[in-house]
Amino acid sequence: MATTPPPTTTNSKTSPARSVLRDTTFLRLWAGTTASGLATWALPFVLGLAVLHRDLGAAGLGLVLAARTAGFLVAVAVGGVLADRHSRRAVVLWSALAAAVAAPLLAAGLGRSLVLMTAAAALAGAGQGACRPAFQALTAETVAPDRRQQANAAMTMAVRGSTLAGPALTALLAAFLDIGTLLLGIGLLWLIAALVPAKAATTPTDPATAPAPRAGFRAEFLEGIREARRHPWFLAGLAALVTVIALGYSATSVALPLISRDRYDTQWVLAAAMTAYTVGALAGALVIARWRPRSQGWAAFAGLAVYGVAPLSLMLPVHPLVVVAAYAVAGIGIELFNVPWFTATQREVAPDKLARVSSLDFLVSYGLAPLGLALMAPAIDTFGVTTVLGACAAACFLVPAAAALTPTARHFARPAPTTTD
């Protein structure tokens, strides 16, 4: 299989001549991805409102959200295989439709049947999981290689923007609409995700060539793992990303509310820090949309390591504005990693295996994140919050630095094969 040479060294200020935002096909894909991201974010928030309205108990909320997570983890692996077997656009359509169907089922079970709500949440999670690798591969089909970094930055800006504006919008709607109607609105968002994206142009196949027989599902999934192993930078990046999510992000998620309450005696620090993180991520996406560092892999790993300043700021008795600033810097850094990471995966991985490799990315990072959250509170109770935050900050700094030493990590690319006469 042919390999892709590392990118040529160019001035870091150069950028694609034509904006991807002028491409109607991409804009439709962007709109569908944005709708799916907003629907994904909105569901746990709306279910939390149901607990406040006493339509759902706290134990029931935990069960429903756990079912959604389980559905996601199963379907993201299945969806990766299906998106490499069949049309990526078709996988987006049917998975988003499945999530759309789950919304009225959740509304029907609200306050009546926890069993129905649990099953519907699993279906919603399955739809969400199956569409993620398909959307990732569809971006590579839709956007030319020289504009994919800009496209991925636009995608992540939509997600961060939804996170920033979503709470206020949902709270506003909740003042006028009941929980069942809000759930139906989530179903409408999934319908948009299913129907709005256009079909990407595909290369016609030779009609004289008979289709090769397909291997079994397990064999195709393992083939995706083998493809991932061909790229040392990908495995190193995945290990660093999981470390930051499972340790750094989990530690700050548990410790920030405690420190906001106990050290600063206000919830303002919690709200301001989380808002600053999202604003920082938006700024990071804006920067990386046009910045092309000479050593993009090293720059990306440096951005990922910057997340360590968030747990570090919580260790020290600093002014609360220092904590807010640290979260803003962490947000910038995480997108300086995410956007080149997605772009390199779309560029370097074999196109017919891209969805499976992307599903491996989502499966590992999303699968281990709940484990980190579950273990963080007992660890804080056992060793103390300062010790845990210090260890997690050190891991955030050291593991990406070690990953950057991996062969091929400097450019997120395999070296070009040498040729002989």
pLDDT at 12: 40
pLDDT at 9: 39
CATH for 21-147+162-195, options being 1.10.1660, 3.40.190, 1.20.1250, 1.10.3470: 1.20.1250
Same fold, 21-147+162-195 and 224-404: yes
Tally of residues, the chain: 421
Contact 278, 160 (CB under 8 A): yes
pLDDT at 214: 65
CA angle 140/146/151 to nearest 5° reads: 55
Using alpha carbons, list the distances in angstroms from residue 63 to 114, 125, 223, 332, 363: 9, 13, 34, 34, 20
Distance CA 156, CA 298 (A): 21
The reported pTM is 0.87
Domain ranges of the chain: 21-147+162-195, 224-404
Give the 3-state DSSP-derived string for the chain, with helices as H, strands as E and coil as C: CCCCCCCCCCCCCCCCCCCHHHCHHHHHHHHHHHHHHHHHHHHHHHHHHHHHCCCCCHHHHHHHHHHHHHHHHHHHHHHHHHHHHCCHHHHHHHHHHHHHHHHHHHHHHCCCCHHHHHHHHHHHHHHHHHHHHHHHHHHHHHCCHHHHHHHHHHHHHHHHHHHHHHHHHHHHHHCCCCHHHHHHHHHHHHHHHHHCCCCCCCCCCCCCCCCCCCCCHHHHHHHHHHHHHCCHHHHHHHHHHHHHHHHHHHHHHHHHHHHHHHCCCCCHHHHHHHHHHHHHHHHHHHHHHHCCCCCHHHHHHHHHHHHHHHHHHHHCCCCHHHHHHHHHHHHHHHHHHHHHHHHHHHHHCCHHHHHHHHHHHHHHHHHHHHHHHHHHHHHHHHHCHHHHHHHHHHHHHHHHHHHHCCCCCCCCCCCCCCCCC
Q: Which of 172, 171, 138 is nearest to 155 (CA)?
A: 138
Q: Which of 421, 266, 412, 272 is nearest to 345 (CA)?
A: 412
| Superfamily name with CATH number, domain 224-404 | MFS general substrate transporter like domains (1.20.1250.20)
| Low-confidence residues in the chain, pLDDT < 70 | 1-18, 200-215, 416-421
Q: How far apart are the first and last CA of the chain?
A: 20
Contact 70, 370 (CB under 8 A): no
pLDDT at 417: 57
Q: Which of 375, 415, 408, 413 is nearest to 392 (CA)?
A: 375
Contact 412, 340 (CB under 8 A): yes
pLDDT in tens, 45-58: 899 889 888 888 88
